[in-house]
Structures are given as structure tokens and as C-alpha cells.
Structure 1
Amino acid sequence: MSFAANGEIRICYDTIGYPEDPPLLLIAGLGNQLVTWQDEFCASLIDRGFFVIRFDNRDCGLSSVVTDRDGYTLHDMAGDALAVLDALGVARVHLFGHSLGGMIAQVMSIEHPDRVASMTVLSTSTGNWDHGTPSDEALAAISRPVTEDREESFERDVANRRVWASPSWFDEDLIREQFRVAYDRAFTPGGSARQYLAILQAPEREEALRTLNVPTLVMHGTLDPLIAMDGGQRLASLVPGAQFMEIEGLAHDLPIQVWQQVISAITSHVSQNAS
């Protein structure tokens, strides 16, 4: 593991593959560490010719915990991602962001289009919550009180995943094992809540997206209860030239059953916009 600096914030990252290949930056969702991007998923991306970069967002994993009462913004989190690119000497990158990661990808693309060769996002929205509204159950789950007790927090995360996992592909034993790996690596009570606050306080991005000049692919699951699919459709409708792809049966997760579909879509999108 290596660390990049964004001011006083340290961001943990690693790379997989060959630096001479096109770089693909993976940006994880709310509370998810870089190990959320499983090694097997990354290996499939490497097989498609990518140099994979993954990192812990601030307040997550081995990156800095931020307890400043003023909090932070999606702009700050985009700056963290750029710091990783700077540390690696990567001038331009292809982005793949999931959920919160897709929001960070949008901010990067809006503020630094010269650094972004293409953007692919999954299960995300523009920040206009008239589109992509969560179900009552999903909203209740993500709003559950934070606990500093490790075991209670673990069970809370498992319970939440049940709510927004793809129903046909949910494997609780596998999810528990993945969470154990993450919790053994780092436990950051309150980190997810602070990231969620950054989402809630972010201004909507619709006007900026209307003039975005970054090749964009938006993917969304048909069964997403946390960010309803019309959130992704709205995003694709605003970005000039954006493509939209729905994934049948997918909720707000990335199960192995859709990996190849997602990876093929990313590969095709990048190949059309190679630079």
C-alpha cells in the first residue's frame, strides 16, 4: 500500500497491473474500502488491458479519519482522487465510480475535464433528489444511528446490504466474509455518516453536467432501491452524448454475476474513447 497527500489528508491506494496500460481509477461507494474492489474483479480488468488504481476514500480504510466539525465536501473527495493520480504521475485517467464514487467521478469530470479520458458510473445520480429517490426501507436503513461498537456496526452493515442487494444474487455468507476482511483491515466508526453528510450537503450538478465534455457511460440496475434507476437515466439525459445501460435484476451492489457485463461495458466505452 502507498499513500498520497491532499494537504493534511493521507489517502491510501494501490495499483494492480502494468503502468504502460490505460489507467482506470476505481472510486468506491459510501463507506467502502479499496478491498471492496475484489482482486478477482481487478484481475478481470487487467486481462482487458487496464492498469487498475484503487484507493480508500477519506474517512475509510487506511486513509485519514476526518473529525473536523466543519466536515468536507464532494469537491474535497475529488481532490483526494486527484492526489492519487498526481502521486502516480498519471496525467489522464478513465474513471469507474459506484454510487458515491460515481458522484465523485462527476465532480472530477466537471472540475478537471483535462484529467479525465472517460467516465463510467454505476448506481449514481446528479444530486437532484427529485430523481433517484430511495425507497422508504432503503432510506430508513442508511439513516440508522451510527454505533462505535464493532460487532453492532458489523451487523448493521450486513442488515443494510440485505436491503439493497440484488435479490436473486444475495449471498449472506459471502457478504459476511467480505465485511470481515474489511473490518479486520480498518474500522472507522462515523466515517460513513460523514461521507453521507457530504452527499446530502452537495449542490446538485445538473447545470454543469449539461455542458460536460467527457465521454460518459451511465449504468444502473433495474432493482436499485437506494438510488432509483431514474436517477441514472436523468444523469445520462443531461450529459451530451452520454450512453445509458440498464442492468436487469441488479440492485445497489456489484455481485459477481454481473461482473463480466459491467467489465465488457467499461472496456467498450474506453476503447471508443482511447487517448
Structure 2
Amino acid sequence: MAKDAIALLDHLGWRKAHIFGHSMGAMIACKLAALVPDRVLSLALLNVTGGGMECFPKFDRQTLSIAYRFLKAKTPEERADVDLETHYTKEYLEENVGTSKRRTVLFQQYVKGISATGMQSNFGFEGQVYACWTHKITQTEVELIKSAGFPIAVIHGRHDIIAQIYYARRLAERLQPMARMVDLHGAHLVSHERSEEVNQALLDLIEASELKMNPHDWCNLPKKNSWAEKKVLAFKTDIQVGSNVSFISRLPEKLYLCLFYLFDLLVLPIESGRKLLGSLKPVRVRSSPSDVYQ
């Protein structure tokens, strides 16, 4: 998909461009930057993660409920109801828009859009999951991106339950001093919830590119620690009660991810197989004993 985007640049005759991507699109944008860093003027990664295990959503009761309803959704109305909760914060949905709640307005728009395009097929969903699951930016690719010298903005909603901000921040730290972290109040579609702040962050990024701003003036992340300092910090973090990154506190999350992955591998194919077998009609075949042995 990154190569498709590069082919589009070639078709348009654009030697260089500002590359912006959201969610899986941000993964594609990051890969594009690693493939042709000399063609990137700036890179904006909105609600991104590093792929693989980092793609799994936040582990809590709300996410489990959403995951169950997502898998069971069969109508545009059911899918729209789930999408709203994954895309926006509750506060945003409960705001008044004229005489209606924003939730009501968006729900109608989502149902209309899904009805027009049709529900996402299982094949499409599995392809999307596979693309995110296999995505990875190696350290070599990180160094290629950093050495190109263009500024990077990692923009994220701190209440995103699909792409957790912890992983976005970790990616930004890998890309420093070229990266700036923009942490906003919002969910997965933070560009909708906080459009003015996101647009300003993008304008700042483009301006930094045009002015060829010093990376150390652009970057707002803490300076990288040495290997020894990281070990001490990790130890201190692990012994804190309720730490989000300690092994003990993340053990339930790891178990949940394993169960979710096994469910995707085993249960969904079985259900699909049942539906396929149910649609088949029995056919009587006449054969001789020799045909059976063959």
C-alpha cells in the first residue's frame, strides 16, 4: 500500500510531498517515509501505533463490550452504534448540536454512509487486520527516516481505545529528535473532535519543514536516556503500584490479547465454515468401486 502511494506521487509528477496518515493510513505513511525518505517534506502520523501487538485495543470492560457488539453487528444501525463509541469520546457525543445531541446527528450520518457503501466484508476486515498485524518499522527504517531530516508530528487522542497513546508516544520517542508529540483530548477520530488543534499542528509541521527548523527546537520529547538509565527507570516503574507498564499489571492484557487472537484464528473460521456448509446442496454421485479407490 505504501508502494501504491508512491506510484500515485509518480503519476501526479510530485517529486516531494507532505505525507499525512491516520490510523492504518499512518502506518502506511510511515512505511512510505522509510521507502523513499528523500521524497518526504514532512510526516504527520495521526492515531498511529507500531503495528503487531500494539494494534490491540485497550483492555477494559468497555472494549470487551465493543468487541462483542462489533463481531455481532449485522445491520448498518448496529455497526454505527459501535463505531461511534470507538471513534469519539462520550463527552463529544453528548454535546448539543442545535436541538439534538451530537450522537444522534452522527448516528444518522453513519447509518446513511454504511447503507450506501454496504457493510464491510469479512474478507476486507481480515485484510485490514492482517495489514496492521504484520506492520513493523525496523530500527534500520527508523534511522533512514531520521537521517532524511524532515520534521515529524505524532498527533494522538489520549482517550483512543483503538490505538493506545502509549504506543504512539513510544514510536515518537524512537523517531526523536525529528518527532514532536501532540497529545490532545479526543478519541480515535481526534481530527474530528479537535479539528482546529489538529489543523494547527499540521500547519506548524509544514512551517517547520519550510523553515528547516532545527530538530532540537522542533522536538518536545524528553531527551533519550542511556541504556543504564532506562534500566533504572524501568525498575522504578515496575515497582510502582498500579503502573501501566509493569509486567504484573499488564498480564491480564496479555492474556486477553492471546484469547482475542485465538478467537480470531479458531472461532471466526469455524463460524464462516458453518455458514458455507449450510449453503451447500447435497449432490448424489454415481461411481464404480474402482472410482472410489482412485
TM-score, reference length from structure 2: 0.58
* Equivalent residue number for residue 154 of structure 2: 218
CA contact (8 A) 1:210 1:238 kept: no
Is 1:227–2:172 an aligned residue pair? no
Question: How much does 1:113 deviate?
Answer: 1.0
**Residue identity in the other structure for 1:138:** T
* Equivalent residue number for residue 113 of structure 2: 182
Find the residue that maps to 2:45 and give its secondary structure.
strand
Is 1:96–2:20 an aligned residue pair? yes
Higher strand content, 1 or 2: 1
Instruction: Using the TM superposition, name which of 191-200 and 98-107 deviates more.
Output: 191-200
Find the residue that maps to 1:129 and give its secondary structure.
helix
Find the residue that maps to 1:273 and give its secondary structure.
helix
**Residue identity in the other structure for 1:186:** T
User: Cα deviations across residues 107-155 of structure 1 (Å, max 9, x unaligned)?
Assistant: 11111112211101111112263698523443663574387x5xx1552
Find the residue that maps to 1:104 and give its secondary structure.
helix
Question: How much does 1:246 deviate?
Answer: 0.5
Find the residue that maps to 2:91 and give its secondary structure.
coil
CA contact (8 A) 1:128 1:205 kept: no
Q: Hey, what's the Cα distance between the residues in 1 that align with 2:48 and 2:64?
A: 15
TM-score, reference length from structure 1: 0.62
User: Cα deviations across residues 234-273 of structure 1 (Å, max 9, x unaligned)?
Assistant: 01100132111110x2111136441111001101111110
Q: Hey, what's the Cα distance between the residues in 2 that align with 1:115 and 1:146?
A: 43
* Equivalent residue number for residue 43 of structure 2: 119
Aligned 1:119-198 pairs, distance under 5 A: 119-127=43-51, 129=53, 134-136=58-60, 137-138=62-63, 141=66, 144-145=70-71, 152-170=75-93, 171-183=102-114, 185-187=116-118, 188-190=120-122, 191-198=124-131
Q: Hey, what's the Cα distance between the residues in 2 that align with 1:131 and 1:96?
A: 19
Equivalences, count: 195
* Equivalent residue number for residue 52 of structure 1: none
**CA 131–195 in structure 1, closer or farther in 2 if over 3 Å, else same:** closer
**Residue identity in the other structure for 1:93:** A
2:183 to 235, 246, 268: 246
* Uncovered stretches (5+) of structure 1, i.e. residues with no partner: 1-76
Kindly, what percent of the aligned residue pairs are identical? 24
Find the residue that maps to 1:246 and give its secondary structure.
strand
**CA 119–218 in structure 1, closer or farther in 2 if over 3 Å, else same:** same
Q: Hey, what's the Cα distance between the residues in 1 that align with 2:82 and 2:57?
A: 20
RMSD, matched Cα:
2.8
CA contact (8 A) 1:96 1:102 kept: yes
* Uncovered stretches (5+) of structure 2, i.e. residues with no partner: 94-101, 213-294
Question: How much does 1:104 deviate?
Answer: 0.8
**CA 222–132 in structure 1, closer or farther in 2 if over 3 Å, else same:** farther
**Residue identity in the other structure for 1:129:** M
Question: How much does 1:85 deviate?
Answer: 2.1
Question: How much does 1:167 deviate?
Answer: 1.9
From the CA coordinates, give the structure whose radius of gyration is larger. 2
Higher helix content, 1 or 2: 2
User: Cα deviations across residues 208-229 of structure 1 (Å, max 9, x unaligned)?
Assistant: 2244234211111121111221
CA contact (8 A) 1:128 1:204 kept: no
CA contact (8 A) 1:146 1:193 kept: no
**CA 130–103 in structure 1, closer or farther in 2 if over 3 Å, else same:** closer
CA contact (8 A) 2:80 2:107 kept: no
Is 1:200–2:125 an aligned residue pair? no
CA contact (8 A) 2:159 2:187 kept: yes
**CA 85–221 in structure 1, closer or farther in 2 if over 3 Å, else same:** same
Question: How much does 1:78 deviate?
Answer: 1.2
**CA 163–90 in structure 1, closer or farther in 2 if over 3 Å, else same:** same
CA contact (8 A) 1:132 1:230 kept: no
